[in-house]
Amino acid sequence: MGKARSVGIGMDYSATSKSALRWAVDNLIEEGDRIILIHVEPPKATNTRKQLFEDTGSPLIPLEEFVESNVSKQYGLTSDPEVLDILDTVSRTKRAKVVAKVYWGDPREKLCDAVQDLKLDSLVVGSRGLGLHYYKKAKRRR
């Protein structure tokens, strides 16, 4: 076992972000790694924690706290049983440390900020749903 890594996973609870999470757990995460679930809320979101952490993003929220619905609501997040089950399983089976961090703003910018702020070794995000069908359609237009 090498040095534990920090792996960020962009999460908006869409089907593609859940697929990215499953892929990372199955193919990338090794024993002892740290998984940081990165949420980016819209800049106009209003919740109790945004006022405190809008500039820097939230503190890291351990899985044990994140699973509590009142904690998730304070950050304006959805509690998704499927995501929580995947995270709980990987924390037990691979002894991965799971935390979450919330940013507010443009997801493209904030995900890039997260790579630097959190010193991530990898960042995994879903595909926007533009799969093979989109590629074939774009190719026909040429």
In a domain? residue 55: yes
Looking at the structure of the chain, the number of domains it has is 1
In a domain? residue 24: yes
In a domain? residue 74: yes
Q: Residue 6 contacts by C-beta under 8 Å, 6 or more apart in sequence?
A: 33, 34, 36, 118, 119, 120, 121, 122
pLDDT in tens, 69-127: 777 777 777 778 999 999 999 999 999 999 999 998 888 899 999 999 999 999 999 87
Where in the sequence is the domain holding 96, given as residue range(s)? 6-141
CATH number at residue 28: 3.40.50
Q: Output phi, psi for 45, to 5 deg.
A: -60, 145
* Most confident option among 45-59, 90-104, 124-138: 90-104
